[in-house]
Structures are given as C-alpha cells and as structure tokens.
Structure 1
C-alpha cells in the first residue's frame, strides 16, 4: 500500500511539475530597420551658351554688267594675274560707268590703286566724279561704299611729282573736291557721311601736295 501511494504521489508530483513549467515562447520578432534615405545631390546647372553679336551679313558679290561681257575673257585674265592697271584700262576705255563701278567693287583699292599708272588713275577718278555728279550713287549701298573707298585711296595714290599729269590731276581733283563738298552739305544725315568726309579730306590733301 505504501508503495502504491508513493508511486501515485510521485506520478502526481511529476504531472504537477510538468503542468507548472512555463510554456516555451516563440522567438521575438526583430524589426527590420528602414533603409536610410539616399543622399540627394543637386545636378549642376549647365551654363547658358554665350550669344555673341549678330554678324553683319556680307555684301552680295558684284555681278558683271552686260557692258563688260565683250571683254570678259581678257578682263578675267588680267584680274587673275593681278594686272590691275591693264584691267582698269580695259574697262575705262569703254566709258561705261556701270562697268567702272563693278571694277571698284571687285578690286580692293588699297592693293590696286598704287598699281595704276597716273593716266589710268586720273581717268578713273574723273569717271567716278561723273558717276557722283549724275546722281547715280545711292547712299548706303555696296556700290557707294566701293566708289568712296576708291576715291580716297585713289587721291592718296596721285603722284604730285609727276609733272606730265599735274595740270590734269589738279583739274580732276578740284572737280571731285567740289562734288564731295556738295554731297556733304546738300544731303543732311547722308548714310555715307563718314566715308564722304574721309574721301573729301584725301582729295583736299592731294590738292595741297600738287
């Protein structure tokens, strides 16, 4: 009997101990840290493209007038060879003012004027004076710019020591001087005022040197 009771007590005690043991708890949930925000970098501002001054459009190339078609081949050869004296002589012999103005636009006066003989140079200045006197020069055009540049450079190229043409030079320059002065006084606000004034000064100085 004692043994039975002891076993019963042992079993009871064992069962009671088992029931008193704490239940195993589930593993604790570890929170996942939120990703740290990516550093923001501002995009560098691209500099605005620099805008320069609007280029001035170039003057259209001079078109050979009909009056020069008959000598186009010879004229082309002279100009290709930089024989300005021969080229101008060919054109001046036609006494066509349109052809003379074409030559003034085609040839750079600073390079060509010193190459002309005094006879050809004075003939050119005389025909340019006629061109202005007849009112054919339109202010502010490529033609007027070329003509005035040639008058200024041509006057500077007149040789005061050449006694053979001194009388003719004085007469032609006197006429040009008067025409240029009339242009300055008769047309207020002339589009080519500075160029006319420069040409008048060059002619005046050439006259004083004779």
Structure 2
C-alpha cells in the first residue's frame, strides 16, 4: 500500500505542472508565414508562441469576422480552472498521505481518478464549445464572407485534436507539456489503484 500511495502522491503533484506549462496548443501554418502562428492555451489564459502571434491571428480573424482571442478576464474558465486544478492536486496529495499512513483504502485513489477524469472530459467539452462559437459565430459585416460549395457559411473552427485545412491555412491542435503531465498523473493514479488492489489481495 505504501508504494501505491507514493504513486498517488506523485500523480496528484504532476497536476501542478499546469500552473507553469501550457495545456494545449493550436498552430496555424500558411505559405505566407514562413514561421507558423501559434497560441498556447494555459489554464489561466492564452499566450502566443511568439511575441506577435496573437496580434497577427487577431488581424487575420478580423477579415473573416471572427472574435479576437479572449483575455483571461473574458472567460470565467480562466478563473475557475486554476482553482479546480489546485484543489484536485491538494486533495490527491492528502489522499496519498492518508493511504501511506493506512488511514484509507486504495478505493479512494479510484475515486479521485474518476473525479479528475470527469472534470477533464467536461473541460474538453467546454473547450470545444468555445471553439465552435469562435469559428462559427462570425460578424455578418465582415470584409470577407466565405461559403461552402452548398452556399452555407464556412466554419473556421480549429480541430479539437489533429489537423484540419482551413482555406490556405493548416490548423494543428495538440496537447502540450501541461496536458501530458496531467495525463501522466492520471495514469500513475490508475497504477496506484491497481497496485493497492493487488497488495490487498495478497494479504
């Protein structure tokens, strides 16, 4: 149970990496941009990969009627997410310590994993909903009005995961280090639960 608890503690602490490293990244590449434009999405805001990336992306978006990249104060998520992640990291750490002291069972590890997984799914759903609004709710008075072959307005929603062609841009959307650390923390917690269950069955 002690080894399982140590894995639980490490898994929970890996969540704190989200306070320093980006959770997600979206890249936009086109022939007129030798260096792709990119933005890193943190739990408390969005930053350009390079100094003028956000400004250049907003400039491009203006022509097709897309909203500007939101500031932290524009989205409640950037206030709530740090609180949620911090709370889950602390809770997981406490559960790991109590498990190490044999005050609770390994089932608490699974409970924490279920909660963080649920929160992660809800976060991805919210992120995708924001991108749908961002890419489809366009200004009707925009300079450029692009349409699909069937006459419907073209969507500029970036992919949630993977690659998508948008006009002459290639959009790429993938996790960054913070997201991988979160995934590793969840995986370690699963191992902690399985190890705790196995050690219990051997006793």
TM-score range, shorter chain: under 0.3
**Bigger relative contact order, structure 1 or 2, given CA contacts below 8 A and separation 6+?**
2
Q: Normalised by the size of structure 2, how large is the TM-score? A: 0.24
Q: Normalised by the size of structure 1, how large is the TM-score? A: 0.23
Instruction: Give the structure with the higher percent helix.
Output: 1
